[in-house]
Structure 1
Amino acid sequence: MSWANAYVGMPFVDQGRDWTGCDCWGLVRLVYAEKLDIDLLDYQTAYTSAAEHAEIAALINREIDMGPWRRTEAPEPFDVLLFRQGRLGSHVGIQINATKMLHMARGEQAKIEDIHGVRWGNRYLGAYRHVARRTPLNDPLKGSL
């Protein structure tokens, strides 16, 4: 189906940042490194568990306010999607196409889910594009989606 299939089934590991397991940010970081050649900060010392929603939301807000992320109203593949957990924007996924995302939820394996489905549709807060992101379709070194 897509580049995302290779990541499906990867185990959840708190603060994981490689193929042995990831949390939601670790998965974004791994995909960005492998597919887009963009190194994102690891934040491993900024929080101790993916359950720390307030700390994670603060990191995300700081990245949006000061970092290399720009909100987009027309999400494309590889844009990062932000979702609410409780009242805080503290979960991220990666846009695959108009309806699907790749993400890692706490205690689950990496999977592809419907962005607008029952579980995530009412939690969606926005899509963000890294300023250094190139579309893989235009990058001969990375191939096609």
Structure 2
Amino acid sequence: MIDLNRFVGLPWQDRGRTPHGCDCWGLLRLVYADALGICLPDHSNGYADTSDGAISDLIGTGLSDWLPVVAGTERPLDAILIRQAPWHVGVIVRRGLMLHMPENQTSCIEAYDTGRWSRRVEGIYRHREAAR
């Protein structure tokens, strides 16, 4: 199993793409590059800031690189898309837990199937290259 704990505690930075500061998409990019060897597009110029809704376009609106995953069949490293003022993305650590980057905080692991996130999960997606 891949240890995602080393990604806990990274500082938040809007449109950041490095371990020295990243947003939720930047964190997903870091994890995918390190754990899967998948280089996700940067998209740092593709949105004004993390509140403009473009995060959902990067994963959830039919892009061919992402496949929807049936709830209950998610596995580590799947991406989880969350409705949050308006969109947010995290990485599945194991069923029920996600690694994510809360705005203006540090990256952390939290439950997505209980508490504040459970009603906001839009979907879980697997990158086409990780599905092979």
Partner Cα separation in structure 1 for residue 59 and residue 95 of structure 2? 23
Structure 1 length normalisation: TM-score? 0.82
Higher helix proportion (structure 1 or 2)? 1
Measured on the aligned residues, the alpha-carbon RMSD in Å equals 1.8
Q: Tell me the amino acid that sits aligned with residue 15 of structure 2.
A: Q
Deviation at 1:2, TM superposition (A): 5.7
What residue in structure 1 maps to residue 39 of structure 2?
39
- Give the unaligned 5+ runs of structure 1: 136-145
Three-state SS of the structure 2 residue aligned to 1:119 is: helix
Q: How does 1:90-105 map to 2 (within 5 A)?
A: 90-105=87-102
1:6-21 correspondence runs (5 A): 6-21=6-21
Partner of 2:104: 107
- Counterpart CA distance in 2 for 1:41 and 1:109 is 22
Offset at residue 126 of structure 1 (A): 1.0
- Count of aligned pairs: 130
| Structure 1 Cα separation of the partners of residues 2 and 62 of structure 2 | 31
C-alpha deviation, 1:67, in angstroms: 2.5
**Which runs of 5 or more structure 2 residues have no equivalent in the other structure?**
none
Q: Determine helix, strand or coil for the equivalent of 2:76.
A: coil
Change (3 A) 1:43 1:97: same
Q: TM-score, normalised by structure 2?
A: 0.90
Highest CA radius of gyration, 1 or 2? Answer: 1
Q: Which residue of 1 aligns with 2:52?
A: 52
Q: Give the drift of 1:131.
A: 1.0
Give aligned-pair identity as a percent.
38
Deviation at 1:58, TM superposition (A): 3.4
SS in 2 for 1:65: coil
Q: CA deviation at 1:48?
A: 2.5
